[in-house]
Amino acid sequence: MTGAPAAPDTIMAVTAVTVRVPAKVNLQLAVGPLRADGYHDLVNVFHAVSLFDEVTAEPADELTVTVRGESVEGVPVGEDNLAARAARLLAERIGARPDVALTIHKTIPVAGGMAGGSADAAAALVACARLWDASGVRLADLAADLGSDVPFALLGGTAIGTGRGEVLTPVPVGGRFHWVFALADGGLSTPAVYAECDRLREAAGQRVGPPRRSQALLDALERGDAEALGAALANDLQPAALSLRPSLRRTLQAGREGGALGALVSGSGPTCAFLARSAGHAAELAAALSEAGLVRAAVSAHGPVPGATVVAGG
């Protein structure tokens, strides 16, 4: 090496920042009655899994969004993209122009009940905060304004979300869990699934009380007990997702027949989640589900994993 070393006070301009951000599955989703503001109070046990999107932020003359990946139809590339909204919100907060080129590499299924859009918003917040040296801004406050699931994508791990899901309390977890996700063709709209949940409850004359946390589920998580966790998985939106997409019943049944410890729709669906006994069992189950021809793809993953993390630049 012959080059002179950089002077100690040289400040390297940040040219690109890449953030990796996980998908989530809801281990318990207890849904209270419809609130006056159109939301529902929840007990939402979020669990971050190793299925990741990556968002790269680079300085540019104006805000642009590029989306790459398989099956990204329906993802807006304009100002409605949640990552673009996140960049604009942060720029507004620090009094800067949102001049950034955002490139999103999507692996998380779109409109799949795994919070991919929320994940991209959280990643964009972290990437732009690094690019614009906005380390003093509390990103969690901005996240909650972008969507109920966005704060969890920043935090990762496993956490209970109350309120509309944005008030987070981390949950202790005593091990790693192995999952299979059955990805469906096409998505389901989150507001439509909540509305169907309300409709089904009303039609059944169901009196809906406040959502309650499952102690059995929290104990299973703390012990790292996959069998008990499988038995405790619960999603109040599942009947609504099945009502809107009846074919998911067969997918859930196929996973149970493959020995899953638990099977449920992930959040608002249509992705189905299966808890496996081990990494090996997850690989077998994913192969069996793919071969059964009921799903677009079946992928294995583990959880919990950290939230939005800078992996390059900055």
Ligand X SMILES: C[C@@](CO)(OP(=O)(O)O)[C@H](O)COP(=O)(O)OP(=O)(O)OC[C@H]1O[C@@H](n2ccc(N)nc2=O)[C@H](O)[C@@H]1O
Residues in binding site for ATP: 109-119
Q: Which of ligand X, ligand ADP, none does residue 299 bind to, with CB < 5 to 8 Å depending on kind?
A: none
Hey, which residues between 17 and 36 contact ligand X (CB under 6 A)?
Answer: 26, 29
- Our answer to whether residue 149 is catalytic in this structure is yes
β-bridge partners, 274: 180, 263
List residues bridging with 159 in a β-sheet.
46, 170
Site size toward ligand X, by CB under 6 A:
20
CB of 148 to ligand X, least distance (A): 3
Sign of CA dihedral 254, 255, 258, 263: negative
Considering the complex, what minimum distance in angstroms separates the CB of residue 11 from ligand ADP?
Answer: 32
How many other CB atoms are found less than 10 A from the CB of residue 23? 29
Q: Give the whole-angstrom CA distance, residue 142 versus residue 122.
A: 9
Is 294 in contact with 251 (CB distance < 8 Å)?
yes
Q: Which does 42 bind (CB under 5 to 8 A by kind): ligand ADP, ligand X, none?
A: ligand X
Cβ neighbours for 1, distance < 8 A, ≥ 6 positions apart: none
Shortest Cβ 76–ligand ADP spacing (Å): 5
Quote the CA–CA distance of 18 and 55 in Å, as a whole number.
6
Task: Provide the 3-class DSSP secondary structure of residue 79.
Answer: coil
Positions that interact with ligand ADP (CB under 6 A): 74-76, 80-83, 104, 110-118, 120, 187, 190, 268
Contacts of 165 (CB under 8 A, 6+ apart): 42, 44, 46, 148, 149, 152
Supply the minimum distance, in Å, between the C-beta of residue 72 and ligand ADP.
Answer: 8
Cβ-proximal residue to ligand ADP, closest one: 117
Q: What is the DSSP letter of 68?
A: E
Query: Looking at 24, 106, 120, 236, which residue is catalytic?
Result: 24
Return the amino acid letter for 314: G
Question: Of 111 and 171, which CB lies nearer to ligand ADP in the complex structure?
Answer: 111
What residue number has its CB nearest to ligand X?
267
28 binds, among ligand X, ligand ADP, none (CB under 5 to 8 A by kind): none
Q: Residues with catalytic annotation?
A: 24, 149
Residues in contact with ligand X by CB under 6 A are 26, 29, 38-40, 42, 44, 113, 115, 118, 147-149, 164-165, 190-191, 194, 267-268
